[in-house]
């Protein structure tokens, strides 16, 4: 059932800054990773964010191009988010945004937006196991640098992190060698495609799955990531139960690579399907 604008804004106003791991199912915000509407966002960022809010999304996650913003533009975007009653709990960042040359600018933009997490969206380290251990060290170092700004680091998986390197899954290396404060943002679809079980992973890493990308995937090669939320292989009720009982989930993010519908229609349909599945 969709929220009225009045009830949606009232709910947004009552959401705490530090969302609790044991929040009730209905209090967990549902958001959109804006890569899902990337073409619209490129053409009209403010109009796209406004349209996403009007659909009923409670939070958004900006991805890599946001880094090109000036602080003035980021302040304008924050003003719009506040006007709409929408939060931005995290951003997706290229690996080099965590470099000495770029981390301060990323930090400042994230603070303006009101984020809690800066998430590394993708990496492909060389050197096998040692390369992944070095990446864990890089994440830990970034976490130390950002702590004084009350920002935490996150890591977002793709399918490669689940495929063994020298007999070990890179995701296990990252989980074992990073600080407990570093969020392991679970991309459900890529986890399933790689043959891993999201529920098992969540339960093996309690309190570290503060957000999930609710991306579905189908084993049918003609469909793959083009299915809408709920049309693929993911066992969503089991995933939600694990995320909310053990994972420490603070917010959910729907993400779509594309579908048989346009971007905005896809985002709308996925939100409706989420509500019907999650309640």
- Residue 104: alpha-carbon gap to chain centroid: 21
The 10s digit of each residue's pLDDT in 209-261 is: 999 999 999 999 999 999 999 999 999 999 999 999 999 999 999 999 999 99
| DSSP code string of the chain | -PPPHHHHHHHHHH--SS--TT--GGGS-EEEEGGGGHHHHHH-HHHHHHHHHHHT--EEEE-GGGGG--HHHHHHHHHHHHHHT-EEEEEEE-GGGGSTTTHHHHHHHHHHHT-SEEEE-----SSHHHHHHHHHHHHHHHHHHHHTTT-EEEEE--SGGGS-BTTB-HHHHHHHHS-TTSEEEEEHHHHHHTT--HHHHHHHSTT---EEEE----SSTTTGGGSPTTSSS--HHHHHHHIIIII---EEEE--S--SS-HHHHHHHHHHHHHHHH-
Nearest to 30 by CA among 47, 66, 55: 55
Tokens of 183: 């969020």
Among left, alpha and beta (phi > 0; psi -120 to 50; other), residue 120 is beta
CA angle 197, 32, 90 (to 5 degrees): 85
pLDDT tens, N- to C-terminus, the chain (279 residues): 333 333 333 433 333 333 333 445 679 999 999 999 999 999 999 999 999 999 999 999 999 999 999 999 999 999 999 999 999 999 999 999 999 999 999 999 999 999 999 999 999 999 999 999 999 999 999 999 999 999 999 999 999 999 999 999 999 999 999 999 999 999 999 999 999 999 999 999 999 999 999 999 999 999 999 999 999 999 999 999 999 999 999 999 999 999 999 999 999 999 999 999 997
Tokens of 260: 């048989």
């Amino acid at each position: 059932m969709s929220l009225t604008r009045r009830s949606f804004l009232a709910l947004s106003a009552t959401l705490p800054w530090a969302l609790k791991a044991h929040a009730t199912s209905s209090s967990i915000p549902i958001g959109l990773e804006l890569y899902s509407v990337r073409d619209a966002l490129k053409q009209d960022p403010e109009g796209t964010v406004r349209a996403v809010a009007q659909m009923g999304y409670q939070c958004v996650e900006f991805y890599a191009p946001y880094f090109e913003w000036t602080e003035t533009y980021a302040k304008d975007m924050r003003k719009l988010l506040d006007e709409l009653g929408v939060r931005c709990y995290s951003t997706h960042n290229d690996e080099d945004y965590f470099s000495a040359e770029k981390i301060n600018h990323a930090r400042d933009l994230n603070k303006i937006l009101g984020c809690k997490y800066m998430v590394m969206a993708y990496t492909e380290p060389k050197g096998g196991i040692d390369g992944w251990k070095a990446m864990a060290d890089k994440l830990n170092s970034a976490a130390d640098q950002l702590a004084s700004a009350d920002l935490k680091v996150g890591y977002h998986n793709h399918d490669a992190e689940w495929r063994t390197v020298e007999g070990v899954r890179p995701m296990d290396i990252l989980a074992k060698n990073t600080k407990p404060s570093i969020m392991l943002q679970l991309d459900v679809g890529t986890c399933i495609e790689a043959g891993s079980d999201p529920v098992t992973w969540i339960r093996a890493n309690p309190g570290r799955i503060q957000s999930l990308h609710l991306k579905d995937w189908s084993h049918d090669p003609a469909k793959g990531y083009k299915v809408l939320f709920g049309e693929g292989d993911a066992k969503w009720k089991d995933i939600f139960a694990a995320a909310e009982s053990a994972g420490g989930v603070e917010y959910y993010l729907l993400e779509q690579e594309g579908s048989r519908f346009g971007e905005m229609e896809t985002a709308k349909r996925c939100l409706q399907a989420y509500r019907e599945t999650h309640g």
